[in-house]
Amino acid sequence: MPEEEKAKKDVEMKDASMDKVKEGDKKEEDKKKEKKEEKPKEPKQLLLELIASNLRTIHAASAAGDARVIGRIVRSFANLRRTLSQEVLVALLEEFVDAGRPFKATFIEYAKKLEDAAPPKDVVMEDAAAPKEGEAVVEKKKIETKFPQFAKPYPPEFEAYALLLVLIRLTDKKLHEKEAATTLVTYLKTFNRRTIDFFATRAYFYMSMAYERCGELDQIRAELIAAYRTACLRHDVVGQATFLNLVLRNYLAYNLYEQALKFVQKTTFPESRPNAQYARYLFYLGQIKAVQLEYSDSHSKLMQAIRKAPQSCAGLGFKLSAYKLAIIVELLTGGVPDRSTFMQKELRVQLRPYYAITQAVRSGDLNAFKVVIETHTALFKADKTLTLINRLRYNVIKTGLRSINLSYSRISLADMSTKLGLESEQDAAGVVAKAIVDGVIDATIDYDSKSVSSQQKHDIYTSCEPQKAFHKRISFCLQMHNDTVKAMAYPDENDNKEEETPEQRREREKGLLDSIEDDDDDDMLL
């Protein structure tokens, strides 16, 4: 009997556990159904929620004087600019810009001229006037443009936030950007608050872009230098990096390479810098060193800039410019770029003229080199690489001389001038003599018989060239290791994150990384 009772109890317990499992499955199914039934939020509602969150963060940061939080808000502009609407911008200006500001009415007029931004690609917009069969027409709720209530007077960070959003949209639409940027920079210069520095730096960034589009970039050079000096005095790291790049871009836009080099020698780029600004700085250094005939250092800086540039679509323009210059510089060093450089899916079409240049240099065909330059002169001038490409003429001749030196033990100057595409025997003699002095070929010129005799080529492995190449690779790896150690960031000890779960911490870190990547993409627009 006791055994039968135990068996019955076991069966009852199993049935009870099965019922609990079924109930749990039903609850999970009900939760999934509720999630499916939840309708996605409209783009305007998402925009208002993001702006409200930013305003609360700015209010807390301004009260505590925490400038780092303001930097995160500025990095979120890359997401905001895609969905900003005219109605929201006008409401922001009317609510948070003081009525006593003389420029308030002007900015409101600018905002009213802007068209609403297109909805994100992941949001499907349906036509309400054409409902599907079997569905009733439901009136959409009108979303009111309201923001969180704060105690007045509002902090100046609210004004800077609203005005900067309007300036970003004006820059995207290319409407009144110069006037708006100048007005905003003049207004923000009146404050000496560390929480305003991030907004002022971004305003200077867009002002430089506006003046460059108008062809008047030299007019703000003195102001940019003064802003850099002020950022150094205030220990504003982001401002120092941004203003240093803006000044260098200003010099290079007018081919003032000597002034740019002196400015680089007198300044120091901050170590705790934004990654995108450092990539831009390396690109400018590579450009300066290429003009100064320091091709090895130039190529090293350009390749570092390409590696540190953001890999998203927003950084394609920067990577394209860096690749164009790096290809020419590598050819000037005597090397040949890897074929995979020209086969990249995003850059394949734009790099075709440079691929033709590379083929001409590699084959040593001077006639093909001249044809490529004549065909793409306008493109090379726009890319500011024509001067460097013209320096490749001697490299083409050297390549042709090497192939001739390997193929013929003795050749006449007339035949050599024909093969190299030179005009006369005297030109061929001069070119060969210079190549012999530079150590390009090992040969002798017989002026009586007007011929060139090649000498036996020495084994390169008996020289120091392999050792130099190995040392160059080791130096590059050590430099990369040092840069990686310097770029390591650690969490702040004052941050109290004990209450959050591991999932919440991962989501927070993921959002922070996304915002930093968006900021890098935004910096690559200039």
428, 420 in Cβ contact below 8 A?
A: yes
Average pLDDT of the residues in 296-304: 89
The CA R_g of the chain, rounded to the nearest whole Å, is 32
Mean pLDDT, the chain, as a whole number?
A: 76
pLDDT of the residue at 169? 84
pLDDT greater than 60 at residue 324: yes
Q: Could you report the per-residue pLDDT of 119-169, keeping only the tens digit for each?
A: 444 333 333 334 444 444 333 344 556 666 777 787 888 888 888 888 888
Instruction: Name which residue leads in pLDDT, 386 or 418.
Output: 386
67, 194 in Cβ contact below 8 A?
A: yes
Q: What are the DSSP calls for 392-418, one per residue?
A: THHHHHHHHHHHHHHH-SEEEHHHHHH
CATH number of 392-460: 1.10.10.10
Q: What residue spans of 215-273 are helical by DSSP H?
A: 221-233, 237-253, 257-266
pLDDT greater than 90 at residue 188: no
Return d(Cα 327, Cα 341) in angstroms, integer. Answer: 9
Q: Which of 162-176, 255-269, 300-314, 498-512 has the highest mean pLDDT?
A: 255-269
Q: Could you report the per-residue pLDDT of 452-511, keeping only the tens digit for each?
A: 777 666 666 777 888 888 898 999 899 888 888 877 765 555 554 456 677 777 777 776
- 118 falls in which pLDDT band (50, 70, 90)? very low
- 105 falls in which pLDDT band (50, 70, 90)? confident
Taking CA 223 as the corner, what is the angle to CA 221 and CA 225, rounded to the nearest 5 degrees? Answer: 70
Q: With CA atoms as reference, report the closest residue to 521 among 33, 222, 75.
A: 75
pLDDT greater than 80 at residue 115: no
pTM of full prediction above 0.75: no
Query: Domain coordinates of the chain in residue numbers?
Result: 41-120+148-214, 274-358, 392-460
Average pLDDT of the residues in 85-100: 79
Cβ-Cβ contacts under 8 Å for 525 (sequence gap 6 or more)? 209, 314, 317
Q: Could you report the per-residue pLDDT of 334-371, keeping only the tens digit for each?
A: 888 888 888 888 888 888 888 888 888 888 778 888 88
Dig out the tokens for 148 from the structure: 């969180």
Q: What residue spans of 137-188 are helical by DSSP H?
A: 156-173, 177-188
pLDDT above 70 covers what percent of the chain?
A: 75
pLDDT of the residue at 127? 36
pLDDT of the residue at 248? 92
Return d(Cα 468, Cα 478) in angstroms, integer. Answer: 15
Instruction: Name which residue leads in pLDDT, 23 or 253.
Output: 253
pLDDT greater than 70 at residue 236: yes
Q: What are the DSSP calls for 440-509, one per residue?
A: S--EEEETTTTEEEEPPPPPGGGSSHHHHHHHHHHHHHHHHHHHHHHT-----TT---SSS-HHHHHHHH
pLDDT greater than 50 at residue 294: yes
Instruction: Name which residue leads in pLDDT, 307 or 399.
Output: 307
Return d(Cα 423, Cα 171) in angstroms, integer. Answer: 53
Q: What are the DSSP calls for 336-375, one per residue?
A: ---HHHHT-TTTTTTTHHHHHHHHHHHHT-HHHHHHHHHH
Which helix (H) or strand (E) segment is 523 a member of?
helix 502-523
511, 57 in Cβ contact below 8 A?
A: no
